[in-house]
Amino acid sequence: MTAIAITRMGDLFAVVMLSGIYSLLSAALFLVLDAPDVAFTEASVGAGISTLLFLATLKLVPRYDKKSRYKPGLALGVVVATGALLIYGTLDMPHFGKVDAPVHEHVAPRYLNDSLEEIGVPNFVTSVLASYRGFDTLGEVVVVFTAGIGVMSLLRISRQAKKDAKAKTPPDMQQQVILRVVAKIMIPLILIFALYVQFHGDYSPGGGFQAGVIFAAGIILYTMLFGLSTAQKVFKHKVLEILTAFGVFLYAGVGFVCLFMGGNFLDYDVLRHDPVHGQHLGILLIELGVGITVASVMILIFFKFTWRTVKHKYNQ
């Protein structure tokens, strides 16, 4: 329903807000479908960070959508035709919730039955993510890293422009006493929660990706309430850039250490004398790498968008 409302709205602000609600609803649905890790990620990413980024963009672009001059008939036709084909395609699919569906018969049983002895981590999602499919996850982290670099180069601002803007920027939201007090209580809790999610990811839903995003959300909240320059005193641009690369380096580095110690790439068994301990250490380290990269990329992206806004406002 929310999705349909989005198509009809002309006001982009409402569209963005609705998409945030939509994300939160999908997170709830993921939870119902027994995927707490995914729900966690969707709630913090979809409802948190992505809504914020869209809002930051809206400050830079016109708020209202222009009415299209074309008739939507053709588009609707294409969509309905595709839909009919897709529905026809689903007729051969296994039923919802069946135990004997083909998906459950290949690698999944092995993950569920053997991972406790091989990896020793109760959260199956973490052991698959960080160990069995560690190489895949490394790729994902590199994609996040690359996207971060892309945003940084697209929204680059010269140092001079930054200095000018900084001189003219008034302190943000100085008057919002209630928000500031509440945030002062909330932000440390958010950050501690992020660390908990990071290091307890082996035993409960969570891990580097979620922790990184939650941590970034805490910092972004801080930035919004106390101003960009205050936040950048704590999180220097240079440091963030280095941290972004450091996360990927840590991840790949663990892989290479495994290689030098006689195992395969990202085969943590060799890190310690006992394979299970090795796995624990390896998973801890690479999750840390993931967390660092994701958090610093998200913070950097938000800083870039905010700088752009500040520049537009005061540098004309």
Partner 1 sequence: MNVLGLYNYWIVVILMLIGFYIVIAHENLVKKLVGLAIFQTSVFFLYISIGKITGATAPIFDEKWQLYSNPLPHVLILTAIVVGIATTALGLSLVVRIQEAYGSIEENDIQIQDTQDQLECQLEAYGIQESLTTFDQDIDE
d(CA 219, CA 233): 12
Closer Cβ to partner 1, 72 or 188, answer by number: 72
Q: Quick one: which of 186, 146, 192 has its CA closest to 294?
A: 146
27-34 CB contacts, 8 Å cutoff, 24+ apart: none
Q: Please check whether residue 208 is in contact with residue 286, taking contact to mean a CB–CB distance below 8 angstroms.
A: yes
3-state secondary structure of 106: coil
3-state secondary structure of 11: strand
Looking at 175-183, 205-213, 244-252, 275-283, which segment touches partner 1 (CB under 8 A)? 205-213
- CB of 196 vs partner 1, minimal distance in Å: 16
- CB of 34 vs partner 1, minimal distance in Å: 4
Exactly one of 21, 24, 47, 65 binds partner 1 (CB under 8 A); which one? 65
- CB of 174 vs partner 1, minimal distance in Å: 27
Q: Please check whether residue 122 is in contact with residue 201, taking contact to mean a CB–CB distance below 8 angstroms.
A: no
Residue list 102-121, contact with partner 1 (CB under 8 A): 103-104, 107-108, 111-112, 116
Exactly one of 21, 36, 196, 237 binds partner 1 (CB under 8 A); which one? 36
Q: Please check whether residue 259 is in contact with residue 271, taking contact to mean a CB–CB distance below 8 angstroms.
A: no
- Asked if 131 is part of the footprint of partner 1 (rule: CB under 8 A), the reply reads no
Exactly one of 28, 143, 182, 189 binds partner 1 (CB under 8 A); which one? 143
Looking at 41-49, 159-167, 176-184, 236-244, which segment touches partner 1 (CB under 8 A)? 41-49
Exactly one of 47, 144, 221, 299 binds partner 1 (CB under 8 A); which one? 144
Q: Please check whether residue 165 is in contact with residue 303, taking contact to mean a CB–CB distance below 8 angstroms.
A: no
d(CA 104, CA 90): 18
Residue list 86-105, contact with partner 1 (CB under 8 A): 86-87, 90-91, 93, 95-99, 101, 103-104
- CB of 176 vs partner 1, minimal distance in Å: 26
Give the total residue count for the chain: 316
- CB of 104 vs partner 1, minimal distance in Å: 6
3-state secondary structure of 281: helix
d(CA 190, CA 4): 33
- Asked if 204 is part of the footprint of partner 1 (rule: CB under 8 A), the reply reads yes
Looking at 42-50, 160-168, 187-195, 237-245, which segment touches partner 1 (CB under 8 A)? 42-50
Residue list 150-169, contact with partner 1 (CB under 8 A): 150-151, 154-155
d(CA 143, CA 134): 14
